[in-house]
Structure 1
Amino acid sequence: MHIWHWQTWNDLPYLTCSLLEPWKHGFFTQQFAPRSPFQITEALYPLAQAYRAKQVHGNLVLAPSEMPYPLSDENLLDADGLISEQAHQAVWVCSADCTPVLIADAKTGQVSAVHAGWRGTAQKIVPRAIARLCSQGSQLQDLRVAMGPAIAGEVYQVSTRVAVEVGATVIDIDSESSLDANVKRLLELSHSPVLSDSTPGRVRLDVRRVNALQLEQLGISEEQVAIAPHCTYQDSVNFFSYRREKLKKAQWSGIVSG
């Protein structure tokens, strides 16, 4: 069982996960606003070079060598995933209901940070980030994946169309069948990421569970994956939630390569 710990930096709270203990990392709370990763990196490893992108709910994954230098909040490239290429690189994503995913390689020390909302998950952004890590020498059995605070499936109401679009990444969707028939197939899955909803044309969707299923289908074991027991929508003290507040505010999650 992977353990999540509350830590503090300058009396401000953030979360770490035992699975990623060898790496400096954190899932930071709304209390760190309005600091950017270029400032928050100091809380993890002051000597690290920080990298972030302009998130657009896509599935592009970038490496530092593909980004401007020096990087600033003014010259960001569009991407929703980052991977490191050498030691002491801090990669960051922001989220406010979407899933922040931090990935680390126990052998190479390289890391990745991914922003996986339903759109990115439907485009398999986490498997894409893993493919990039593997292209530079990672082996699947050496990866450690932690999914941070995000909106919980029990409170995340979406249209059946969205559920089927996301669900198509983990089961074969029958294009000849109706939306409802495909939703029924998703609902019948063991530990289904889709939960029923009393509103017609709506269901509840557990995006973190979909990502966990994508990882399982890649051949990554359950012991290599940790999911935070925190919901951004339900915890207004620690986390911004777009669904709750409809404000463009987000918290940061980052990890430093070894």
Structure 2
Amino acid sequence: MTLPVPIRSAMLASVPHGFLGREGGVSTGLVAGLNVGLGTADDPAAVAENRRRAVAAVMPGARLVTLYQVHSADAVVVDAPFADDARPRADALVTDRPGLLLGILTADCAPVLLADVEAGVVGAAHAGWRGAAGGVVEATVARMVSLGARPDRIAAAIGPAIAQPSYEVDDAFRANLLAIGHDADRFFAPGAAPRRFQFDLEAYVAARLRAAGVGRIDALSTDTYSDPARFFSFRRATHGAEPDYGRQIALIGLTGGGRTLP
């Protein structure tokens, strides 16, 4: 078996981590490849195998922890894995326990992996526009701080997500973000039609990380929408009127040191 090859960030090189796309999996059809989404119409056995491959590619032997993601600003502290039917409804998770591998699923939203190596604390966040605007990045940093991390020591990587040229939005979307604040106007460029705009989700998430005090940020600038061979994309599937779409996974964990699992 050939394992999938993760995309890695130099800023997180000292901790096991990786952003996986759709390559290297066993799923077929519309979700062909490394689909890890429990909510898809895929064969559950294929999803389970894809998840095993993802873990083996990033941190062999680790115990995977994922959430029931709901585009919220909620972040949870993880001490042990959850059963699939008991996953918290949240969009970020943090831990200081070696042996756990935190996983965030995306299909255009921005996956964010974070680490304070000195404190032995890592985090992962699912930052779509709604979660990012609501404060999921800040909530993740706050949860990491509760475990002993310091914002200025945290390094964060923003993985594959829909890029600005691929992300057209309407005037109502723009108005919503402008009302929230954070100087949001700078993240919009004029669209091809009147009252249409191109939104830079990656830059917006990076700005929220900086506002939360994160010291180092690596934006990988990899577009999920425009590369169907490598990545799943909700928006691309919607534009193609497809009834299902796959999810990719971003993973981060700790080995050695720190607190032990219960």
1:13 aligns with 2:5: yes
Q: How does 1:1-258 map to 2 (within 5 A)?
A: 10-31=2-23, 32=25, 33-34=34-35, 35-36=47-48, 38-39=51-52, 40-65=54-79, 71-167=82-178, 168-171=180-183, 186=185, 192-221=186-215, 224-246=216-238, 247-258=244-255
Q: 1:75: Cα distance to partner?
A: 2.5
Give the deviation of 1:38 after TM superposition: 5.0
Q: Which has the higher strand share?
A: 1
Secondary structure, aligned partner of 2:64: strand
Separation in structure 2 between the aligned mates of residue 163 and residue 146 of structure 1, nearest angstrom: 25
Residue 104 of structure 2 aligns to a residue in which SS? Answer: strand
Q: Deviations over 1:86-132 (max 9, x none)?
A: 22221010101100000011211211111000110110101110011
- The answer to which of 33-42 and 110-119 deviates more is 33-42
Q: Specify whether residues 41 and 73 from structure 1 end up closer, same or farther in structure 2 by C-alpha distance, changes over 3 A only.
A: same
2:63·2:101 contact (CA, 8 Å) conserved in 1? yes
Deviation of the 1:164 alpha carbon: 3.2
Residue type matched to 2:6 in 1?
A: Y
Amino acid at match of 2:213: G
Residue 219 (structure 1) shift: 3.2
Q: In the TM superposition, what is the alpha-carbon distance from 1:50 to its structure 2 partner?
A: 1.4
After superposition, the C-alpha distances for 1:149-206 in whole angstroms (9 at most, x for unaligned) are 00001220112222233343413xxxxxxxxxxxxx81xxxxx311111323321111
- Runs of at least 5 residues in structure 2 that lack an aligned partner in the other structure: 26-33, 36-46, 239-243, 256-262
Give the aligned partner of residue 39 of structure 2: none
Residues 93 and 253 of structure 1 are in contact (CA less than 8 Å); yes or no, is this contact kept in structure 2? yes
Deviation per residue, 1:17-74 (Å, 9 max, x gap): 1111001111001123234585122222223221100111111111224xxx662323
Q: 1:11–1:53: structure 2 CA closer, same or farther, 3 Å change rule?
A: closer
SS at the partner of 1:30? coil
Residue identity over aligned pairs, in percent, reads 27
Shift of 1:77: 1.9
Aligned positions, number: 227
**C-alpha RMSD over aligned residues:** 2.0
Q: TM-score, normalised by structure 2?
A: 0.80
- The 4+ residue runs of structure 1 with deviation greater than 3 A are 34-38
Q: Is the 8 A contact 2:100 2:253 kept in 1?
A: yes
Conserved 8 A contact 1:124-1:169: no
Alpha-carbon separation, structure 2, partners of 1:164 and 1:143:
32
